[in-house]
């Protein structure tokens, strides 16, 4: 299929499913446990309906806004995702390049295949680095120093992975980077010639931010045991304050799903928070991100906080972006939507995913009677289709800080 005939993110998903090894496609396209939250992230967006307006001048439209004070061509950033370089050889580099050319931010995961230094060497725009809090504090501090040296412009602290969610497909597939040479894996790889050929052309096939940098992790044999032990279940808001001071720059906290935690994120000095349930890959049975958004927006506004509120999880179209902005988000992040494009066509696929989201958001905004994304609000939503996604009045448990 030619890129010009790709008309929706779903097209990219189907192609990626055909091209990717099963374990990596399943890693992208699955949630934890029963996958209820994973599914609701999308279906709750579908329930929200838009009001069509007519006889409105639709000329001069703009999706341009800012995220953390930086101009962006639309209120969308590429989310930090693990194993990105297993979707396409050197995947993080290709995705970062596509984001830079399109004028949106790129975020690099701690669990990336390409290292911080790899991405910095192949891009010119500053990118964001996402940090998992590890038990090895020196390794974590060194990650922060490496991000500073690479001129990363913001640090994303992921708050919802103190313990790993029960991800059934990953367990059954024996997810690893690179794939373990089992009979099942080898048979599956034989059906993915393009992926195999691309991977033969790179040496980046494991976690570049960890191997050779973490203590006692010099090769693949020691990596698995290290990662299984390293996520820190004792992470607290005091740790966040120390990380903020060590970093010294813009701080984003990802994984906020309750107003109480949003207020704490603001009080600890975060510049932005991301309403996110980790794409439905952590607590199954949690609300969708779009369902959690409105209460969090109201809570931080009631506190008169300047913290920016963004949304992640479930966005598959430009209409989803528009609905999130209408519900109070000032920015959004996409994960699966760009990974499908990367797995299907590499850098060109990421670019196409961004084009699709931009066009869908732009045209839908026009039909709703707006020409400036910064002026969009709940007036574009059909009453009765979104009120159930918020509480009225908002209730926030008092917090002793």
**Spacing of C-alpha 280 from chain mean position:** 12
* Whole-number pLDDT of residue 178: 85
* Whole-number pLDDT of residue 164: 85
Alpha helices per DSSP H over 161-269: 168-173, 183-189, 193-200, 220-230, 237-247, 259-267
> Does a structural domain hold residue 245?
yes
Residues 6+ apart with CB under 8 A from 185: 21, 23, 174, 179
Count H helices, E strands: the chain?
17, 10
> Does a structural domain hold residue 400?
no
What is the rounded average pLDDT of the residues 254-269?
98
What is the pairing mode between strands 308-312 and 70-72?
A: unpaired
Question: CB–CB of 276/313 below 8 Å?
Answer: yes
* Whole-number pLDDT of residue 42: 97
pLDDT tens-digit readout, 199-244: 999 999 999 999 989 887 766 566 667 777 888 899 999 999 999 9
Peptide bond into 239 cis (omega under 30): no
> Does a structural domain hold residue 397?
no
Terminal Cα-to-Cα distance of the chain (whole angstroms): 56
Beta bridge partners of 65: 72
Residues 6+ apart with CB under 8 A from 12: 6, 337, 340, 341, 343, 344, 345, 349, 352, 353
| Catalytic (active site) residue 122 | no
Domains: count for the chain? 1
Peptide bond into 178 cis (omega under 30): yes
* Catalytic, out of 168, 278, 370, 388: 278
pLDDT tens-digit readout, 279-298: 999 999 999 999 999 999 99
Q: Which domain holds residue 145?
A: 3-387
pTM to 2 decimal places: 0.94
For residue 250, CA distances in Å to 91, 99, 152, 154, 240 come to 25, 20, 10, 5, 13
> Does a structural domain hold residue 393?
no
Give, in degrees to the nearest 5, the angle at Cα 363 between 360 and 367.
130
> Does a structural domain hold residue 263?
yes
204 sits in the region (left: phi over 0; alpha: psi -120 to 50; else beta) called beta
What is the rounded average pLDDT of the residues 383-388?
88
> Does a structural domain hold residue 378?
yes
Average pLDDT of the chain, as a whole number: 94
pLDDT tops 80 at residue 172 = yes
Residue 190's CATH number: 3.20.20.70
Q: pLDDT band at residue 393, thresholds of 50, 70 and 90?
A: very low
> Does a structural domain hold residue 271?
yes
Question: CB–CB of 153/250 below 8 Å?
Answer: yes
């Amino acid at each position: 299929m030619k890129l010009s005939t790709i008309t929706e993110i779903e097209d990219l998903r189907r192609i990626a499913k055909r091209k990717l090894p099963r374990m990596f496609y399943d890693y992208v396209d699955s949630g934890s446990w029963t996958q209820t939250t994973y599914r609701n992230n999308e279906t709750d967006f579908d329930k929200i309906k838009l009001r069509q307006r007519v006889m409105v001048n639709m000329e001069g439209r703009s999706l341009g806004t800012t995220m953390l004070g930086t101009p962006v061509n639309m209120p969308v950033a590429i989310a930090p995702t693990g194993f990105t370089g297993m979707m396409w050889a050197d995947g993080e580099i290709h995705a970062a390049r596509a984001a830079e050319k399109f004028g949106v931010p790129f975020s690099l995961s701690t669990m990336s295949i390409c290292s911080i230094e790899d991405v910095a060497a192949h891009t010119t725009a500053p990118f964001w680095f996402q940090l998992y809090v590890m038990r090895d504090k020196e390794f974590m501090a060194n990650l922060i120093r490496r991000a500073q040296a690479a001129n990363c412009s913001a640090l994303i602290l992921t708050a919802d992975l103190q313990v790993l969610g029960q991800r059934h497909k990953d367990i059954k597939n024996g997810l690893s980077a690179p794939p373990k040479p089992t009979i099942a894996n080898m048979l599956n790889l034989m059906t993915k010639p393009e992926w195999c050929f691309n991977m033969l052309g790179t040496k980046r096939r494991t976690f570049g931010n960890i191997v050779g940098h973490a203590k006692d992790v010099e090769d693949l044999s020691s990596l698995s045991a290290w990662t299984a032990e390293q996520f820190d279940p004792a992470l607290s808001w005091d740790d966040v304050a120390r990380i903020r001071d060590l970093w010294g720059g813009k701080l984003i906290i990802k994984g906020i799903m309750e107003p109480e935690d949003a207020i704490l994120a603001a009080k600890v000095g975060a510049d932005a928070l991301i309403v996110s349930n980790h794409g439905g890959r952590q607590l199954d049975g949690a609300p969708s991100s779009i369902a959690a958004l409105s209460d969090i927006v109201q809570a931080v506004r009631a506190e008169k906080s300047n913290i920016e509120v963004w949304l992640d999880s479930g966005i598959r179209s430009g209409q989803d972006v528009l609905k999130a902005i209408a519900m109070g988000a000032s920015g959004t992040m996409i994960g699966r939507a760009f990974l499908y494009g990367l797995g299907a066509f590499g850098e060109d696929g990421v670019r196409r995913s961004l084009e699709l989201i931009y066009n869908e958001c732009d045209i839908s905004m026009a039909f709703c009677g707006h020409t400036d994304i910064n002026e969009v609000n709940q007036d574009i939503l059909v009453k009765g289709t979104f009120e159930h996604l918020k509480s009225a009045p908002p209730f926030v448990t008092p917090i002793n800080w």
